[in-house]
Structure 1
Amino acid sequence: MTVDKEARIIDDLMEKMIKKAMEPGEKLPSENQLATAYRVPRITARKALMVLEERGYIYSVHGKGRFLKEAPIPIQLHLTGKVSFTDKMRQAGYNLTTKNAFCKKIDYEEKIFKILKATNRNTVYQIGRLRLIDDEPIAIHQSFVNELKFPQIAEDGPKIKSMFSYYRELGYTQFTSNQTLLSITFPTFSEQQLLSCSSMVPLIIVESDCLDVETGDVLEYTKILYRSDKFKYDITMQ
């Protein structure tokens, strides 16, 4: 069947990438070459290449063909709420920049409100920051905070780039977390725009809470979306 042939082309090219039989920047076989090699219509070869491009493994250059993308940059990322993301990246020597992407009220969501010990009468804000390494978007950090605990968050939120720095300014000094959850999703249209990725690039979701060590109070619920195609994440616990 044609679908099986398309899947075979994808699998064979993926295997070459995994085994490093192809070098970053190397030109892939053309649609015509693949069609001839696999004895399929050219449209089947084109669809296979489009899938790999949507997944973020290859890129097109108009009039020249398709090429293998650079290998992912290995990034050490400890899944802990004790140290800020900014501090982790700077300590590791990465060229990190942060942009405040949004600050907005959210509708009632039982899971988030329960973690923040908020009722449906409280107002919860979502503060989003876009993280970039060498000007490449790597992640969207979303912090959900209860306005009851941070009365100035509506005014301060649009200016925040580091939540930990913000908390320190308010007198909090040590942080921890109770639980960290890892899952996978695909980006919404707005997330595609922020992360400069296609709808087929999987995102790694890391969910956790952030607590003040001294009082045990929950400061925020955190949801981070990481691109999976540009970076390789070391989550070794130390």
Structure 2
Amino acid sequence: MRILDELMEKIESKQFSAGEKLPSENELADCYRVPRMTVRAALTKLEERGYIYSKQGKGRFLKEESIPIQLHLTGKVSFTEKMEQAGYDLETRLISCEKISYEEKIYKLLECEREDKVYKVSRIRIIDGQTMAIHNSFVSEKMFPEIEKEGVCISSMFAYYRKHGHTEFASSKTMLGISFPTSTEQQLLHCQSMVPLIMVESDCVDAATGDVLEHTRILYRSDKFKYDITMD
């Protein structure tokens, strides 16, 4: 842990430059007077956290520092619109549109009964060529009767809602949490298991009628965003 902490401190204080090769396992083992296995464990943790990468036969190098994207956590403007307004090149890819099993929390938030059908529309968000987030939108069939058929074509949920006559949006509640990616999420987000994800859960409602349109569960790579929590 001491080796890991000191290497982290050097990285944070810019004592290493992006692309610079880190000291070898042997050099660090001699410096700290510990076995190579101990040094290797510390370097593996750094790699899992996304700070360094390995080149076979050449050593470990510091990754280029990404520029965090500022994101305002508001329910009034869609993610697509936020990124386009900020000038980012955004690509959205559908992962799936599938009916979920009964989940009390989601059904209650969507004001559904157990016999109702709820669908999860999952998409990945790619910004300037980098996969940044997974968006999961839970939508009830009683609110949108054609969601099973139309869900496979959705890229922007707000655009979909506008198509169905909902034009003004609000968020009744937004909750933030932290999770670590599952193996599937690691593959989708191209990250290691120890890169924490910011999980944002919120409800989108029609501002005019108060109808609940969806429950959203979004996973953001914590190393790619800065979060604006200023109240409007």
After TM superposition, is the score higher than 0.5? Answer: yes
Count of aligned positions: 231
* Residue in 1 that maps onto 2:226: 233
Map of 1:161-200 to 2, 5 A cutoff?
A: 161-200=155-194
Paired residue for 2:57? 63
CA deviation after TM superposition for structure 1 residue 95, in Å: 1.3
Shift of 1:159: 1.3
| Secondary structure of the structure 1 residue equivalent to 2:132 | strand
Using structure 2 for the length normalisation, give the TM-score.
0.97
Residue of structure 2 equivalent to 1:43: 37
Gapped regions of structure 2 (runs ≥ 5): none
Q: Deviation of residue 232 (structure 1)?
A: 3.3
Unaligned runs of 5+ in 1: 1-6
Partner of 2:48: 54
Report the Cα distance in structure 2 between the residues aligned to 1:112 and 1:72, rounded to whole angstroms.
35
Query: What's the TM-score, normalizing by structure 1?
Result: 0.94
Alpha-carbon displacement from aligned partner over 1:162-221 (angstroms, at most 9, x marks no partner): 100111111111100011111000111111111111221111001100000110100000
Cross-structure match for 2:110: 116
Alignment-derived partner of residue 3 in structure 1: none
Cα distance in 1 for partners of 2:183, 2:96 equals 15
| Contact 1:25–1:68 (CA under 8 A) maintained in structure 2 | yes
8 Å CA contact 1:130–1:140 kept in 2: the answer is yes
2:136 corresponding residue in structure 1: 142
Q: Percent identity of the aligned residues?
A: 61
Structure 1 SS opposite 2:68:
strand
> Is 1:214 aligned with 2:215?
no
> Runs of 4 or more off by more than 4 Å in structure 1?
none
The answer to whether the 8 Å contact 1:74/1:234 transfers is no
- In the TM superposition, what whole-angstrom CA distance separates every residue of 1:63-92 from its partner, at most 9, and x where no partner exists? 211111121322111111100000001101
In the other structure, the counterpart of 2:69 is 75
